[in-house]
């Protein structure tokens, strides 16, 4: 089966990217090197191609009620422009996917599932529709993320819109001043017929949110496929003088792990509930949603394994699948692990019994033939 390519594939090749197969997409793993790119994001800024992520629009009568029923967080209470991180569960309370949902107002929502789960989530949402419209624009839209301490300064080079008005986890439709004129029609349900009052000039239309998955300040820009290359080129060219570098999936993974952020398919694989993975605020108990009964029962009974963060006290690099033990008793296994480029220590996430999940508890991670001491810590690893 041939791999999908984002509209930026040729741009990645031109920049010398090493490409890999990631969830049936051919994506850049790295350009200058994972550690170099990682530190660029922590110190200045990095640009990511995240066009492989899904793009759904749900709108119409009672769309807010529908979204509440599908999500652990209460989506209907979010005002226009607010973005919400949430889990979607099956009837057994197990996580199908984690996602960010933006409220576009008037019973309309923009939902971004993970790349690997997009087909599954498309089917799941469609199965629960009543009178609502559903549009899958995943193959029609591209997305570029800019993350890091100077991300705001980089995006300010692309638009006249006052970015200080865009708070953390809020979004808006914005005009980006990238080319002298763009007169092509907009085909996607996300951008079609929008009033692009935010920004001036004859540039491209986009949805810009102050979101990301690195733990740094940052923005994610969603545009039409045909606008992806001008957006990417402008971001790279105007951002370079500010210290921005192109960043691949390798550094994206180490960045999110330093902040203790979940990776779909790795830190949860369809067998875990939101109580096991956390964070606690991902579940709003004041509304009904699919899978809630299981969570209520699980919370009452206790005794379930819980995802924890572990900081290695000895030298060693934990990896996915390595065993977590205590007093020669197997507790669980590592789901995500790496050497933190900032801390220069091994960091990991993994499941242990809730009785062993206390902050400060000492465990060991079996790294090849060596037991490496580690301590359970509160995320993030890097403050």
Other C-beta atoms closer than 10 Å to the C-beta of 284 total: 17
CB 47 within 8 A of CB 231: no
Q: Would you say residue 48 lies in a domain?
A: yes
Same domain for 72 and 21, yes or no, is no
Q: Which of 309, 321, 308, 323 is nearest to 372 (CA)?
A: 323
Q: Would you say residue 382 lies in a domain?
A: no
Same domain for 346 and 305, yes or no, is yes
Same domain for 164 and 131, yes or no, is no
Q: Angle at which helices 34-43 and 249-258 pack, to 10 degrees?
A: 50
Q: Would you say residue 308 lies in a domain?
A: yes
Rounded CA separation 229/27 (Å): 15
Q: Where are the alpha helices (DSSP H) in 81-220?
A: 118-127, 151-156
* Strands 362-367 and 323-326, bridge-based pairing: antiparallel
Q: Would you say residue 333 lies in a domain?
A: yes
Same domain for 290 and 251, yes or no, is no
DSSP 136-159: E-TTTEEEEEEESTTHHHHHHTT-
Q: Where are the alpha helices (DSSP H) in 98-156?
A: 118-127, 151-156
Same domain for 148 and 41, yes or no, is yes
Taking each continuous run of H as one helix and of E as one strand, the counts in the chain are 9, 20
Domain CATH code at residue 162: 3.30.1360.120
Q: Which of 151, 148, 143 is nearest to 49 (CA)?
A: 143
Full pLDDT tens readout for the chain, 383 residues: 789 999 999 999 999 999 999 999 999 999 999 999 999 999 999 999 999 999 999 999 999 999 999 999 999 999 999 999 999 999 999 999 999 999 999 999 999 999 999 999 999 999 999 999 999 999 999 999 999 999 999 999 999 999 999 999 999 999 998 865 555 667 799 988 787 667 655 678 899 999 999 999 999 999 999 999 999 999 999 999 999 999 999 999 999 999 999 999 999 999 999 999 999 999 999 999 999 999 999 999 999 999 999 999 999 999 999 999 999 899 999 999 999 999 999 999 999 999 999 999 999 999 998 999 999 999 999 98
Same domain for 10 and 65, yes or no, is no
Same domain for 119 and 152, yes or no, is no
Token pair recorded at residue 208: 């810009």
Domain around 188? 4-54+139-257
Same domain for 156 and 27, yes or no, is yes
Same domain for 211 and 334, yes or no, is no
């Amino acid at each position: 089966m041939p791999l999908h390519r984002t509209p930026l594939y040729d741009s990645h090749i031109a920049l010398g990217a090493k490409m890999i197969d990631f969830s049936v997409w051919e994506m850049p793993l790295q350009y200058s090197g994972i550690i170099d790119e990682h530190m660029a994001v922590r110190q200045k800024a990095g640009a990511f191609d995240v066009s492989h992520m899904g793009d759904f629009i749900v709108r119409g009568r009672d769309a807010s009620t529908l979204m509440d029923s599908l999500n652990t967080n209460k989506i209907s209470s979010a005002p226009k422009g607010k973005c919400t991180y949430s889990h979607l569960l099956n009837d057994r309370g197990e996580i199908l996917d984690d996602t960010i949902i933006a409220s576009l107002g008037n019973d309309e929502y923009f939902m971004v599932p993970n790349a690997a789960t997009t087909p599954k989530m498309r089917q799941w949402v469609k199965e629960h529709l009543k009178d609502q419209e559903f549009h899958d624009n995943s193959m029609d839209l591209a997305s570029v993320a800019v993350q890091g301490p100077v991300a705001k300064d980089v995006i300010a080079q692309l638009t006249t819109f006052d970015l200080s008005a865009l708070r953390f986890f809020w979004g808006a439709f914005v005009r980006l001043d990238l080319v002298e004129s763009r007169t092509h029609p907009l085909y996607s349900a996300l951008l079609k017929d929008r009033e692009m009052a935010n920004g001036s000039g004859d540039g491209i239309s986009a949805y810009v949110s102050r979101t990301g998955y690195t733990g740094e300040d940052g923005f994610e820009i969603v545009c039409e496929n045909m606008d992806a290359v001008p957006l990417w080129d402008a971001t790279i060219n105007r951002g370079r003088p500010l210290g921005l570098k192109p960043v691949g999936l390798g550094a994206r993974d180490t960045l999110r792990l330093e902040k203790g952020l979940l990776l779909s398919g790795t830190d949860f694989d369809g067998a875990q509930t939101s109580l096991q993975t956390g964070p606690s605020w991902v579940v709003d108990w004041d509304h009904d949603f699919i899978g809630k009964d299981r969570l209520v029962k699980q919370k009452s009974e206790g005794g379930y394994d819980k995802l924890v963060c572990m900081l290695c006290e000895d030298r060693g690099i934990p990896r996915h699948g390595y065993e977590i033990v205590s007093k020669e008793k197997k507790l669980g296994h590592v789901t995500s692990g790496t050497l933190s480029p900032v801390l220069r220590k091994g960091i990991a996430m993994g499941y242990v019994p809730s009785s062993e999940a206390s902050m400060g508890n000492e465990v060991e991670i079996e790294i090849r033939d060596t037991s490496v001491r580690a301590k359970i810590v509160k995320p993030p690893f890097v403050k």
